Amino acid sequence: MSRKPNILFFGIDSLRSDMTSLYGYHKKTTPHIEKFLEKDSIVFDNMYSPSIPTTPGYASMLSGMDCFGTDVVALRHKGGIREDLVSLPEVLVENGYNTTNIGYGFKGFQTNLNYPTSWGAWESGRSAKAESMNSVAIPELERLAKEDKPFFLFMRHMDPHSPYLPPQPFERMFYSGDEFDPENKSLEPVYDFVPFRDYFYTWFPPGCTDAEYIIAQYEGAVAYMDACISIILNKLEHLGIADNTIVVFTSDHGETLYDHECYFDHHSLYDCCLTVPFAIKYPNGSKKYFRSCDRRKEYAQTKDIMPTLLALAGIETDIKFDGRNMFDVIDGCAPQEPEFYITEATWMRKHGWRTPEWKLMVALEPDFHFKPPVELYNLIDDPNENNNLADKEPEVVKLLTDRMLAHVVKREAETGRTAPIYTNLDWNGFGRPFTSSEEAYNTLHIGDPDAAKKLQEVLDKKKG
């Protein structure tokens, strides 16, 4: 019996696909990953992480279940993952694999490693997050390659996650302006958003006025990570195990930059948060699927990753996944899911329904952005979701609401549990739902006020 393939998994945090050149972004943010995927690869162009943010995203990715199956929707999830849930590393261990996680604790990994990364602050300098990852990942890859078992190495890169503080020269790779231009007012609304501004003051350059500079830091962080990832990919080749290794790139969710007033974070149900990459390279894989670089239009979700990888590795299981083996979808043996349920419980609690044409978002309590309780967007005419049609299209709102609620009832019946978006009422750490946007705005807060005050003094002096 031939040895099963290794799995090298890049589970990158906060990487929205439309900001990668792999997915057509006009700036070369991911040239090394693109080059790596030029052959023996599949790239899924319509990949979504439907439950925002990190906790439900990784839970789905590593279990093959949707949010009803994991019972997880909130960032500050209470109670841990469901005990009866079988994780991807657990299945792989049962099938003779060594498993290692770097940077994200999840049930079932034999080895759990951390790497010396900091969320960063302006005063402590720029963050070499991906180089820190390499300092741990490359020795672990070398160790695993020496073993007589196949391996699963999962890495959670944090570079696209705020603070965006890529090291030189990446901080100016995509920006050549004056980030301190006093005539530029684009960051004023960002600084005016009280719940987050203390956090922004801790890592924005003191006196920065240009939102484009901050966006360029995200782009630079992605490009920096891409360059560092190329070192891991080169090591895979040098170890002589590249042909029998499945390499996966994906993310737990996207990121809001200057979008929708949800500044430089990853909350909301807009597509900038929902769209993530999903690419697989496997040189020993069937040439039916793994040709030069096969771009696929089938709809995929994070819940599809585990069943797809197990099928690719030739591992059978009796788990009834919520997700699908995407090769079955490609072959027409399993249906696509162009319509799907979406949730968010990061800094707001909402759910909704997305189709190829429409996006419905329904607030389950008032949010701190004072957004309307119902939002409706035509994704064909308005792909950036700037024109809320909820008041103009009540029939569409009703149609999509009925579909969404029917899906909720169906999944509640199938799982025997109430939808977690209804039950996780302490998602905000406040102990109860908010009764008004004012209450949410005055309660939710991130950042270090002391550090922010110190930097604010510098900012005020520059303004003066």
**444 belongs to a structural domain:** no
**266 belongs to a structural domain:** yes
Q: What is the pLDDT of residue 428?
A: 87
* Measured distance CA(274)–CA(47) in Å, rounded: 8
Could you list the pLDDT tens digit for every one of the 464 residues in the chain? Answer: 468 999 999 999 999 999 999 999 999 999 999 999 999 999 999 999 999 999 999 999 999 999 999 999 998 887 667 778 999 999 999 999 999 999 987 889 999 999 876 666 787 788 899 999 999 999 999 999 999 999 999 999 999 999 999 999 999 999 999 999 999 999 999 999 999 999 999 999 999 999 999 999 999 999 999 999 999 999 999 999 999 999 999 999 999 999 999 999 999 999 999 999 999 999 999 888 888 889 999 999 999 999 999 999 999 999 999 999 999 999 999 999 999 999 999 999 999 999 999 999 999 999 999 999 999 999 999 999 999 999 999 999 999 999 999 999 999 999 999 999 999 888 888 888 999 999 999 999 887 656 555 655 554 454 44
**450 belongs to a structural domain:** no
Instruction: Find the CATH number of the domain harbouring 261.
Output: 3.40.720.10
**244 belongs to a structural domain:** yes
The whole-model pTM stands at: 0.94
Q: What is the pLDDT of residue 446?
A: 82
**440 belongs to a structural domain:** no
Q: Provide the residue range defining the domain that includes 86.
A: 6-337
Q: What is the pLDDT of residue 235?
A: 98
Q: What is the pLDDT of residue 234?
A: 98
Question: What domain count does the chain have?
Answer: 1
**448 belongs to a structural domain:** no
Q: What is the pLDDT of residue 118?
A: 62
**371 belongs to a structural domain:** no
**377 belongs to a structural domain:** no
Q: What is the pLDDT of residue 1?
A: 43
